[in-house]
Amino acid sequence: MDIQVSDVIVGLLMSVLGLIGLFMAAGATDDAIYVFGLSLAGFAVVFVLGLIRRHFDRQSGTMPKGTDYV
């Protein structure tokens, strides 16, 4: 199994940003911070799912040509 270290580091950083977004939403006193925190957490989830999809596409060889930049 070929796991790229950069994908792991980016995934961990995005997970931390998602947790920060959830803490922001939980402690928000106004609607703008609440929406921003939930949006940040949602973006982090979608981004990490994209990293997972890219890993398994690369592993199975179904990744379209020209989409793997590494």
pLDDT at residue 65, as a whole number = 65
pLDDT at residue 3, as a whole number = 78
Instruction: Look up residue 2 and give its DSSP letter.
Output: -
Q: What's the pLDDT band for 59 if we cut at 50, 70, 90? A: confident
- Quick: pLDDT tens for 2-50: 778 899 999 999 999 999 999 999 999 999 999 999 999 999 999 999 9
Give which of 16, 1, 9, 21 is closest to 51, Cα–Cα: 9
**Which residues contact residue 15 at a Cβ distance below 8 angstroms, ignoring those fewer than 6 apart?**
44, 48
Question: What are the residue boundaries of the structural domains of the chain, listed by start?
Answer: 5-60
pLDDT at residue 62, as a whole number = 76
Mean pLDDT of 55-68: 75
